[in-house]
Structure 1
Amino acid sequence: RFAPAVALDPPDALLLDVTGCARLFGGDLRLLNQAADAVERLAFTVRAALADTVGAAWALSHGGDEPRALVPPGQCYAALAHLPPWTLRLSPEILDRLDALGLQRIESLLMLPRATLPARFGDKLLLRIDQALGRATELLSPVRPPPQAAARMNFEHAVTDRRTLEYALAPVLVDFVAQLTRQGRGARRIELSLFRERNVPLSRSICLCAPNRAIGHLSGLLRAQLERMDPADGVVCLELAAIETGLIVAAQGDFFEDDRSVAAEAAAELFDRLTARCGSDRVFRPGLVESHRPEKAWRAEAISSPRSARSGAGDRASAALLSDPRISVPDLRPLRLLPRPVPIQAMAVVPDQPPMWFRYRGREHRTRRGIGPERLSGEWWTGEKESRDYYRVETENGAWFWVFREETSGQWYLHGIHE
């Protein structure tokens, strides 16, 4: 709710990386107060601090004078100077040595020659000082929710052959899918991990267009990822984990298979295969945008984007619409929409009728029939006030075009082609 990354600091602290989050809450102070208030409502006594560094925030929240402390940017030294050394999260041995020297404040500790500290107190003291003052980076280990389904296979001996891993993947996937089936869910994002004997683990993720637990489909996607993972360092364990899942709703079966549902499933699985092969950042689908101008009424969205991930129902609706035999293609928007309307020469008998003929790319097209007009108003708030009258026209050779006439100027434009 308050930060994208939260780490545990046992026994009694939470560490939040709120970098860039303050503007969402109206500033640092409001973020600090809202977070502390939320925990207090859970019947906890709260001491909280917000500072440039983890070390400074920890020190002030545990040993500061105020229950809520906000350190302005760049002021960590001044905020920490009066605090006791234990607030730097030092070991009891180091604290005993500092106490024996009469060093009761961080300010006194920092007066000692820096070069002498490692020899007298070890490297840990210098590291904690640098972390608190922002001279050394301190990374958090965020809490990760446990996978909603996971299966693995451990190998007695390290495996370096990819074909062996492919054989091992099959039973692991069966176990993985069985867990999803018992939960009534399908995977939306799966992480394939290879734990290696002589190196760090290898991991690759696949994102699915819709919740899925079909073994055949998932097997193909995972094998494609496995091909890109090098087992040369010796794999000792293969693991599948469902990072994100979705509910799969059971539907009433039909004696004859529904072409519309088949089309929707086929489209989703096609997206999955393209994403697995090309990468999630290279596969897009059109997303709707609220606009009266057709050229502005859509945008390309990555399949893996959050907005796109929520539109699974829209995919099925679109597939069902396109597969309905009662709807002919010309009754829909054109499949090919030109990036910008192209001016054309055209002649119409009366202003509110489709053109009798028009010229496009040096070729004259004679109209057999036309449907319209469909008036799309201008967007006065963007300065585009001109309304457009759109027509779907069929030419003598059977081709369908989408043309419009500007209300004021009377100029005709070609905007789309039905293919």
Structure 2
Amino acid sequence: MRLWIGLCLPRLPLEVYCPNWSADTPTVVLEHERVLAASQLAQLAGVRPGMRRAGALMLAPQLRFQLRSPELEAQALQEVALALLQYSPQVASAQEATLLVDVGASLRLFGGVRALCRRMQASLRALGYTAMLSCAPTARGAWLLARAGMRRRRVLRIDSLAPCLDRLPCALLPPAQPYLDWFEGIGCRTLGQLRQLPRPGLQRRCGRALLDLLDQAHGHVTELFAWIEAPPAFRASLELFDRVEHAEALLFGAQRLLQQMVGWLCARQLAVERIALQLIHERGRLARAPTVITLALGEAVWRDEHLLRLLKEKLAQLVLDAPVIGLHLEALQVLPMAPPSDSLFPEPGGTAQDRRRLLELLVARLGPDNVLQAAPQADYRPEAANRWLPVPSKPVSQPACTALPPGLIALPRPGWLLAEPIALLMRGHRPFYGSPLSMVSVAERIEAGWWGQSQARDYFIAEGTDHAHYWVYRERVAGSADAAPRWYLHGLFS
């Protein structure tokens, strides 16, 4: 099934220059001293597109002006196209700030056309833009429906496309705009009426481009496009429209950059392991080096949800030494994408990737010195057989447990090991801890330690009169057979 989605960004000039276009100050974008776009407050004051600068100032003296820059608009459209590459590798640019996406092969992956359109709208909102979306079996058909802003913008079958296109005005076709007065004179206002005109005469008067565009929209000829390609490396920058003094306010800008990186990763079939977000400070006489936030992931990812949560925790703990005027995001380390395969019987506690992401989130929130994990040591002494180390950025494979020799029984270990052994009193030649203790297991002899730290112990499982079980040991004094043994409590069983 061939299906195209057209995205027309009607407010692109105003959103590029004035992201806070609904703020308290009325703002307009000028081109050749005429108003190209106006904010909501400016429109309430009577400012309309096409007005001259002087006339707009008479209506609203407090207007804020922005000069149009085609370079900035093209850059913004390129950012949107890069983010849309996460939904399809076939994204093309069209006239009038419109993008065309071939999503025929992506419908099943994203759960149908409605779910796909909702996800695209969410990505556009994360980038800070609004767009008119449409669906059609042809690219030019989707382009026309998106530009027209019709109520019915999803046409899935080719036989339903012609009635929808026939109701559109002729002014939507760029080749027809020089001849709108002539069309108005002969009573031709819609594309359906335009198609009823004799084709030879229409071609002689208006040229072949008009007929070619109509044929492409209705699927009569093949459409050819130059697809947008992702760059070999990802580096994206964002210039802020004001000086930001609180780190948490940078999250929205970071989300815009992350959306572009997700599209780049999906287009290049890569997953990222390390990213660096640079916070650009003032330039000139008060210049400072950028503040760098580095995220090192244990598992490579290609979606922005986990990265956004980690950045949110990092920014919440960051205190800015100077205001920030820009952001720069770079993918430092990438790997080929390896999507995880679903298991037949999923674990109730989540996958290993979920647990790994939880640890990364805790490290970002609490700091690396406050999230520790056990690291076994090659020592027979229980108090030295383990130490607590910070969680590494990459999971470390634990050595495989060796099998016990034949005939040797592994005795149980307590669930609670005391930090320091407690010396026990002796009553009636038996160790005493709240009550006399009775040994209910055979001895487990442990001898370990070097150079003055050697230990010789016989461990037992002891039971008190309340039937609580303890892990105790008898210390053997080397070279003194007559010395009384000393007993210690080292652990408690649950």
Q: Please, what TM-score do these two structures have when normalized by structure 1?
A: 0.46
State which structure, 1 or 2, has the greater radius of gyration over its C-alpha atoms: 2
Q: Please, what TM-score do these two structures have when normalized by structure 2?
A: 0.40
Higher relative contact order (CA 8 A, sep 6+): 2
